[in-house]
Amino acid sequence: MTLVRVRPWLRDSEFENAINNFFNDISTDTVFSAYPKVDFYEDDKAYYFNAELPGVSKDDIKLVIEDGILTLSGEFKNGFDGKEDINYLQNERFFGKFERKFNLADNVDYDKVEAKFENGLLKVKINKIKPEQPKERIIKVK
């Protein structure tokens, strides 16, 4: 036998408002902080970064490497040509600006980064460099 909590004072409209308030209280930064979805991997020669960006134009993507951080930002547009008075019957897709940041290792060649955007998939290749070996220096003790 399963116990079910019944709260008869909570009417249907109050329940709907409670659910709506719950989801409205969740900030979009929290919900979509890991969006778009990415794969980040490496081999001996390079780091590879793939991001799913369906429906995004190449012109709406910004990719920057600075101070050892790879930043991917852009915007998903709703596809309704800026119409504000739309009555959504169901809305499951995310629209709006996004930004993701990834720390890179010290062995990154900033001058040899390749990015290609095709069929909603951004592919980035970041070549590795061999770290400089510390030079031995003999210090004379006095």
Domains of the chain: total: 1
Range of the domain at 72: 33-81+90-128
Count of beta carbons in the 10 Å neighbourhood of residue 5:
4
User: For 25, phi and psi rounded to 5 degrees?
Assistant: -75, -20
Q: Is residue 109 part of a domain?
A: yes
Residue range 60-70, pLDDT digits in tens: 899 999 888 99
CA distance 106 to 102: 13
Residue range 87-99, pLDDT digits in tens: 878 777 777 889 9
CA distance 110 to 129: 9
Q: Which residue has the tokens 């909590």?
A: 5
Q: For position 58, which CATH number holds?
A: 2.60.40.790
Q: Is residue 2 part of a domain?
A: no
Please say whether the dihedral angle defined by the alpha carbons of residues 58, 59, 61 and 62, taken in this order, is positive or negative: positive
